[in-house]
Amino acid sequence: MRTRLKVFFPLSILVVLVLLLPILIMVIASFQSTDGSFSLANYQQVITNHYYLKAIRNSLGISVVASAVSLVIAVIGAWALTRLSQKTKNILITLFNMSASFAGVPLAFSLIILFGNAGVWKAMTAAMHLKDSLEIYSLTGTTLAFTFFEIPLGIMFLFPVFEELNPEWREISAVLGAKPLFFFKKVILPVILPNMIEVFTLLFANAMGTYETIYALTGNSIVTIPILIGTLIDGGLTANIPLACTFATLFALVMTLIVWVGNRVTRSKREAA
């Protein structure tokens, strides 16, 4: 037992100091008004203030669209990846991993160079007399930006699942006389679908929590939940940390729930199999 204590000591300290305590304090603060007394006013504000509701709507909109599109592309990409040789797979996985770490300021900057007002894209569309409807600083542009890290992330999550799909299954199924569609419906889908749901929840949660990319791309002009929290913390005169705590508490609660549900889906399916 003494070894066990020693082994877990550093991790426990870390978790208590920078996870449990701050989150606990955060939850408590979310129920405090600016003068420190208990109140539900913060929560009331969240659901009545139009500006805040718009942030929630923006977050949901960007995240749902970006993660759905990315999921579809990631499924195709992960499938394609399994068809390649082992060596190529290893290299590509590492590259996808890297392009996911490129997210944030560098990605936003690169996209501005490419699609911004002075960028190559605008020059090209102008030269070809095309109507350019892509505005990188808009909601659509932000959603597009998200796909640059959500797609590689999705591929990295889904690739192991596709790798596990045993090619022998298909052969056995064919030997037993099943048609490809039947095979897809009865074998592939039940295995893939729960994983897709889980990966979708993770991509969705990841998009919901993204601060750096949006902030670097649009400043505070497109308001999402993380941007809102950022301004509430950092905003000088408008700073309101208890309110930031309220948003953060709600966020953590909802995301934990969603990720937990996504996790359950795959696990219950796996146990049933």
Q: Which of residues 98-117 bind other proteins (CB under 8 A)?
A: 98-99, 101-102, 104-114
Residues from 223 through 242 that contact other proteins (CB under 8 A): 226, 229-230, 233-234, 241
**With CB under 8 A, what is the number of residues at the site for other proteins?**
86
Among 91, 134, 172, 174, binds other proteins (CB under 8 A): 91
Q: How far is the CB of 250 from other proteins (least distance, A)?
A: 10
Tokens of 54: 């718009």
Q: Which residue, 191 or 244, has its beta carbon nearer to other proteins?
A: 244
Q: How far is the CB of 148 from other proteins (least distance, A)?
A: 6
Residues 162-191 as x/- pattern, contact with other proteins by CB under 8 A: ------------------------------
Residues 17-56 as x/- pattern, contact with other proteins by CB under 8 A: xxx-xxxxxx--x---------------------------
Q: How far apart are CA 169 and CA 194, in angstroms?
A: 19
Among 67, 244, 265, 266, binds other proteins (CB under 8 A): 244
Q: How far is the CB of 131 from other proteins (least distance, A)?
A: 17
Establish if 81 lies at the interface with other proteins (CB under 8 A).
Answer: yes
Residues from 115 through 144 that contact other proteins (CB under 8 A): 118-120, 122-124, 126-127
